[in-house]
Amino acid sequence: MPGLTTYSNHGLVERSKERSLESCEYSIYTQELLGKPPAWILRWGGVVMLSIMVAIIALSWMVKYPDIVSAKVTITTPIPPASLVARQSGKLHWLKNSEDRQVTKNELIAVLDSPTSYTDVSALKDWLRHYNSHRDDLRFLSSLPQNLRLGDSQNQFALFQKQVNELLFFLELNPLPKKIAINQQKQLQLEAMLEKFQRQGVILQNENTLLDKNLLRFQALLQKNLVSANSVDEKQLTSLNNRRQQEQMSLEATRIRVELTNLSAELNDLRVADTNKREAFKLNLEEAYQALQTSLSQWEKNFLLVSPIDGRLVFSKYWGEHQFVNSGEEVVSIVPFEKQTILAKMKMPLENSGKVKKGQKILIKLAAYPYQEYGQIVSQINSISLIPRENLYTVEAILPSPLVTSYKKTLGFHQEMQGQAEIVTEDMRLLERLFYQIRKVIKKTE
């Protein structure tokens, strides 16, 4: 057995030597086959590799393409359709309920059922429209509508009605205007008397001047013994009587002036008192008037559906009489009927929004018209909002009218059509993009 083991080990060593010799012979054979590479292969191989690299870099510099910024788009007009939404729940009472019927701005379309009578509100509103120009007219104030069914506005109307009645009572029984009229008549009479006394005073003054001259002449004649002393005394007495009358006229005129002054002060007090009372009543009435108007306006806002624009009625869910509508639901839409510019309103996210500028190209794909079949609408940016709303900028573009696509197909315009817009930004070289990507990777690894 020991001899057998020695023999086996010897065989293994021999086989290992044989394998080593075969491997060595194969390596020598391979080297002889390949040999030393020719010099021209090394030289031209480097040139080719360098040329390929230069060509790649040149192509990267020459090739440019833009970024695409996507945004949701809505097709509309400068005056978009107006949706009338119910502010309260209730049954509908239509005044205008035919499809495509033309309505004007502020035209009433429907009334929601409520405890308030629309007919009574209309009558009261019609009366209130003339109130400001007839607030002092007793006949007009007396014509205030009565027994109205005004629902939540009933308290405000009752207060207004109370203030109107108080003003009517004051205007009918107020004694101050009569006192003012009597005093004004008395004032006119006193002024006429004063004017008469002033005229008489002027006459007496002139007479006194003549009498004084006549007295001087008689005194000169008396010195020459041409007239008697009695004649001179008579002339002097006449002059004194004239002066007495002149003084009496002056005193009477002064008395009348004092009376006029007192009467003027009394008239002023009466006018002030009358004005203050009138203003107090009018102020209370004006406050009640404003409260009533506010209450009626709130009811109209909640229960009346009024067209905010000129246009055509478009119904969706509600069209029949006495249909029940819930608060917050859209009842009807008004589509403007005049020809308008067609606009594309886009909501652009903040990401990459800095690349978007006015005048850039826009490609619009409408959901209702598959772009593979109809093509895209091409336009350009007309305006960009200065600040974002809810992290979205509003981008606006003016579209051709009619809507002609890149496939020369004309699309029908419908308000509020939805789609996707692609904003084509400025071109950027492929090499620049590669550089930015490398820089981005380097910054991440730092």
Arithmetic mean of pLDDT over the chain: 78
| 226 dihedral zone (left: phi>0; alpha: psi -120 to 50; beta) | alpha
Same domain for 301 and 161? yes
In angstroms, the CA 233 to CA 241 distance is 12
Task: Judge if 269 and 206 occupy the same domain.
Answer: yes
Rounded (5°) CA angle 291-292-296 = 120
- 230 and 297 housed in the same domain: yes
Q: What's the pLDDT at 4?
A: 39
Is 333 within a domain? no
- pLDDT for residue 20 is more than 50: yes
96-116 average pLDDT score: 80
Binned at pLDDT 50, 70 and 90, residue 14 comes out as low
Judged against a pLDDT cut of 70, whether residue 306 lies above it is answered with yes
User: 3-class DSSP state for residue 260?
Assistant: helix
Q: Which two tokens stand for residue 114?
A: 């409520």
- Hey, which of 5-19, 174-188, 196-210, 375-389 has the most confident mean pLDDT? 375-389
Q: Are residues 58 and 144 in the same domain?
A: no
φ/ψ of 228, rounded to 5, equals -85, 165
pLDDT at res. 353:
82
DSSP structure string for 221-247:
HHHTTSS-HHHHHHHHHHHHHHHHHHH
Looking at the domain assignment, is residue 135 inside a domain? yes
Looking at per-residue pLDDT, the higher value among 5 and 57 belongs to 57
Structural domain includes residue 440: yes
Mutual orientation of helices 154-173 and 229-303 as an angle, nearest 10°?
A: 170
Q: State the average pLDDT over residues 244-270.
A: 77
Higher pLDDT, 11 or 291: 291
- Given a cut of 60, whether residue 16 has pLDDT beyond it is no
Greater confidence, 20 or 70? 70
pLDDT of residue 12: 46
Question: What average pLDDT score do residues 306-333 get?
Answer: 82
Between CA 321 and CA 95 the distance in angstroms is: 9
> Do 162 and 207 sit in the same domain of this protein?
yes
Average pLDDT over residues 407-433: 80
Is residue 296's pLDDT more than 90? yes
Instruction: Give residue 228's pLDDT.
Output: 65
Q: Say which range, 62-71, 208-217, 296-305, 410-419, has the weakest mean pLDDT.
A: 208-217
Using CA atoms, how far residue 80 sits from 136, 173, 315, 413, in Å, is 46, 58, 16, 13
Non-local CB neighbours of 163 within 8 Å, separated by 6+ positions: 281, 284, 285, 288
What end-to-end distance do the CA atoms of the chain give, in Å? 71
The reply to whether 149 and 289 lie within a common domain is yes
User: Average pLDDT of 184-208?
Assistant: 74
pLDDT computed for residue 19 by the predictor: 55
108-112, strands of its sheet edge to edge:
304-306, 108-112, 90-94, 324-325
The pLDDT of residue 9 is: 46
Distance CA 431, CA 205 (A): 120
| 87 domain residue, yes or no | no
pLDDT at residue 156, as a whole number: 93
CB 159 within 8 A of CB 288: yes
- The SS3 assignment for 252 reads helix
Same structural domain for residues 116 and 45? Answer: no
* Whether residues 300 and 373 fall in one domain: no
Q: Give the model confidence (pLDDT) of 78-90 as tens digits.
A: 888 888 888 888 8
Looking at the structure, tell me whether residues 414 and 383 fall in a common domain: yes
Residue 420: its H or E element: strand 417-429
Contacts with 342 (C-beta within 8 Å, 6 or more apart), sequence order: 75, 76, 77, 398, 399, 400, 401, 403, 413
Give the pLDDT confidence score for residue 272 in this predicted structure: 80
Return the higher-pLDDT residue of 92 and 219. Answer: 92
* Containing structural domain, residue 164: 108-306
CA distance 302 to 296: 10
Do the Cβ atoms of 342 and 398 come closer than 8 Å? yes
Average pLDDT of span 41-62: 70
Q: Which of 57-71, 212-226, 381-395 has the lowest mean pLDDT?
A: 212-226
Q: DSSP for 127-189, please give it.
A: HHHTTGGGTT-HHHHHT---S---GGGHHHHHHHHHHHHHHHHHHHH-SHHHHHHHHHHHHHH
pLDDT at 168 over 60: yes
Does a structural domain hold residue 335? no
CATH number assigned to the domain comprising residue 153: 1.10.287.1490
Q: Confidence band (pLDDT; 50, 70, 90) for 294?
A: very high
Q: Tokens 């080593």 correspond to what residue? A: 20
Say which CATH number the domain at 391 has.
2.40.30.170
Residue 234 placed within a domain: yes
Q: What is the pLDDT of residue 70?
A: 87
Number of domains the chain contains: 3
pLDDT at 3: 43
Residues 73 and 123 placed together within one structural domain of the fold: no
Structure tokens at 279: 């203003």
* Most confident option among 4-18, 127-141, 147-161: 147-161
pLDDT band at 217 (very low <50, low <70, confident <90, very high): low
Q: Which of 51-55, 200-204, 271-275, 393-397 has the lowest mean pLDDT?
A: 200-204
Q: Is the pLDDT of residue 69 over 80?
A: yes
74 lies in the same domain as 118: no
Is residue 123 in a domain?
Answer: yes
| Residue 314 is assigned to a structural domain of this protein | no
Average pLDDT over residues 437-446: 70
Same domain, 415 and 375: yes
Q: What is the pLDDT of residue 437?
A: 66
Q: What is the number of alpha carbons within 13 Å of residue 292 lying toward its C-beta?
A: 25
